[in-house]
Chains A and B, each alone.
Chain A
Amino acid sequence: AQKITQTQPGMFVQEKEAVTLDCTYDTSDPSYGLFWYKQPSSGEMIFLIYQGSYDQQNATEGRYSLNFQKARKSANLVISASQLGDSAMYFCAMREGTTGGFKTIFGAGTRLFVKA
């Protein structure tokens, strides 16, 4: 069964430092996509980064990178040079590409606090 796990309910990081948010997943579908979203206190969902199961390289988008370890079924988000505006909830999500019917499910989220 499709499953996403985020084990860190909350994380603190000092401004300008890097932080890693953990995400593990479980699927039997060989084709899947992994997404990270940011949800600030205003409530909207902001797409950050995507990793496909067949992608050979780890995805990067500006200060965001995804540490994709397929054998371990993990897709951790790394935020470099944290900023105060990074304080938010972060959600990992997975969409199965074939057997799962393309539905997308989310993890429970990690709340990140950036300290000045």
Chain B
Amino acid sequence: NAGVTQTPKFRILKIGQSMTLQCTQDMNHNYMYWYRQDPGMGLKLIYYSVGAGITDKGEVPNGYNVSRSTTEDFPLRLELAAPSQTSVYFCASSQRYLSSYNEQFFGPGTRLTVL
């Protein structure tokens, strides 16, 4: 299993540009999440999904959009990039039930800089 994969690893955007951060998991997990981590800070939840076709806002959803057409994929769309969106973006997935075996599995992150 590859686990959670994210592409690209690094990206530089100009203000006003758009892009999609890709996230794929091969563990058949129901739940998927997008977080951003600003330098020296904790993770803030952007959006999450409890299954294909179902998404919901997290703590900091403004400026982002998501879709979940399949169990495996959960892309994050940035429209009209702003310098405030400079961050490291982590995708994660987990199974539904709360147990010691159902922790979140994280991707390696995408480092995004908006200039």
Choose among B33, B88, B99 the residue that contacts A104 (Cβ–Cβ < 8 A). B33
Q: Which residues of chain A from 1 to 48 have any CB-CB distance to chain B below 8 Å in the complex? A: 6, 31-33, 35, 43-45, 47
Could you say which residues of chain B place their CB within 8 Å of the CB of A45?
Answer: 90, 92, 104, 106
Q: Is there a chain A Cβ closer than 8 Å to B14's Cβ?
A: no
B interface size (C-beta, 8 A): 28
- The answer on a CB contact under 8 Å between A43 and B109 is yes
Name B residues whose Cβ lies closer than 8 Å to a Cβ of A. Answer: 31, 33, 35, 41-45, 48, 50, 56, 58-59, 88, 90, 92, 94, 96, 98-100, 102-106, 108-109
Could you say which residues of chain B place their CB within 8 Å of the CB of A64?
Answer: none
Q: Is there a chain B Cβ closer than 8 Å to A59's Cβ?
A: yes
Name A residues whose Cβ lies closer than 8 Å to a Cβ of B. Answer: 6, 31-33, 35, 43-45, 47, 50, 52, 59, 91, 93, 95, 97, 101-109
- The answer on a CB contact under 8 Å between B42 and A106 is yes
Rounded to whole Å, the gap between the CB of B106 and the closest CB of chain A is 4
Could you say which residues of chain B place their CB within 8 Å of the CB of A44?
Answer: 106, 108-109
